Amino acid sequence: MMRQKPLDNSFMDSQRLLGDAEADRFVDEVLLNRANKQGLQAALSNMTDNNSLITFQNSYQGYGFIANAKKLPVWAEPRKMKQGAVFFSNHAEMIMSLLGLLSLPYCYNAANGAMVLYLSEKIRNDTTKRLFETALFVWDVMAPDAFSESGKGFSEILKVRIMHAAIRHHVLSNGKWDPKWGVPINQEDIAGTNLSFSLIVIRGLRLLGFTVSQEESEAFIHLWNVIGSLTGLRDELISENPKEAQKMDRLISARQFTASDHGVELTRSLTRHILSVNKTKATENDILGLMRYLLGKEISDQLGITAPDLPAYKISLIRTVNFFKSLVPAGDPVANYRMAYRSFLAQGTVVVKQKL
């Protein structure tokens, strides 16, 4: 992956005007009539794993991104991808917690990009179900067999790519979108979201006291780079290493992070959900204080997370416990994944049913 243009404001401005041309054309053409829309919804529902993706491909020929949905980018390294999946398996429960405590609110602070979530209303009006769906996607693409025939990586990524195009189509059609925000779910915003699920997760683990090696960091970011590419992220916005990822994160956050009413409302919906499903002894101030520690004071204030800072002794205790956890051999990654996934499904399914 060699970036053809320098990573600067001018380049990023151009990326805000780009969505996903192939997927957008597909959605625009399919949604020309109601019958096509219903057929697409049924076809997507029947695409349950990578093996069944071939039926979908046969139904929608003539679209390159669908025909190549099971092709890894030429720069993908299967060995690194496997290492990234092992890293996830060994830290699965904590990584999934960090998505809610850190990654998602981090995204909400990008005011222009977060406007898509706000206008689509689904994350605000049906928070628990939407967060559960996001979590399921992460579990599917992080599975040890995600990119095998029996896995769900390719099929779930294609669904998300089509869903993003459908959201762009809907938001641009309802008359509420301001062009000054860029294109809905544009390339810069996709890149920022990808970083929040990879680089920012690693940052969170280290803040919590876990030891993460350079090799583990590179592998986990590489795996998310592959996922990003398959969801339509251009190679020019994919970071080759953690150092480059940090540079891109600094640029995007400097350009896009600012306080906004919709960012505060999205965060409020998220924290209400987190507090409502909390089964631990942690208090509301403990949880929100931990979010403030992970996000930092400036971002927390902009998002309206106003709980007292977590006491230093509690942070020290968390970091110490997790440091020693890092010293314990992780065991079989496949077994770790399956055990954590079963626990997530058991708890998550019950919570969703209770909220519906």
Structural contact between residues 242 and 217, judged by C-beta atoms closer than 8 angstroms: yes
pLDDT category of residue 277 using cuts at 50, 70 and 90: confident
Report whether pLDDT(350) > 50. Answer: no
pLDDT tens by residue, 157-212: 999 999 999 999 999 988 889 999 999 999 999 999 999 999 999 999 999 999 99
Q: Please tell me the distance from the alpha carbon of residue 65 to that of residue 63, in angstroms, as a whole number.
A: 6
Report whether pLDDT(349) > 80. Answer: no
Other Cβ atoms within 10 Å of 181 Cβ, number: 18
Question: What is residue 356's predicted lDDT score, i.e. its pLDDT?
Answer: 46
DSSP string, 10-54: HHHHHHTT---HHHHHHHHHHTTSHHHHHHHHHHHHH--STTTHH
Closest CA to 270 of 95, 108, 47, 143: 108
At 110, give phi and psi (nearest 5°): -85, 95
> How many CA atoms does the CB half-sphere of 72 hold within 13 Å?
17
pLDDT tens by residue, 66-76: 999 999 999 99
Q: 243-268: buried (b, 16+ CB within 10 Å) or exposed (e) per residue?
A: ebbeebbebbbebbbeebebbbbbbb
User: Model's pTM, two decimal places?
Assistant: 0.94
pLDDT tens by residue, 136-172: 999 999 999 999 999 999 999 999 999 999 999 999 9
pLDDT tens by residue, 283-316: 999 999 999 999 999 999 999 999 999 999 999 9
Section 106-122 average pLDDT: 89
Adjacent-strand bridge partners of 257: 110
Report whether pLDDT(282) > 50. Answer: yes
SS3 228: helix
Q: Which residues contact 51 (CB under 8 A, 6 or more apart)?
A: 149, 150
Question: What is residue 193's predicted lDDT score, i.e. its pLDDT?
Answer: 97
Q: Which amino acid is at 278?
A: N
Question: What is residue 294's predicted lDDT score, i.e. its pLDDT?
Answer: 98
Adjacent-strand bridge partners of 110: 257
Q: Please tell me the distance from the alpha carbon of residue 302 to that of residue 266, in angstroms, as a whole number.
A: 12
Q: What burial class does residue 1 get, using C-beta atoms within 10 Å of its C-beta: 0-12 exposed, 13-18 middle, 19+ buried?
A: middle
pLDDT tens by residue, 18-68: 999 999 999 999 988 777 888 999 999 999 999 999 999 999 999 999 999
Structural contact between residues 52 and 59, judged by C-beta atoms closer than 8 angstroms: no
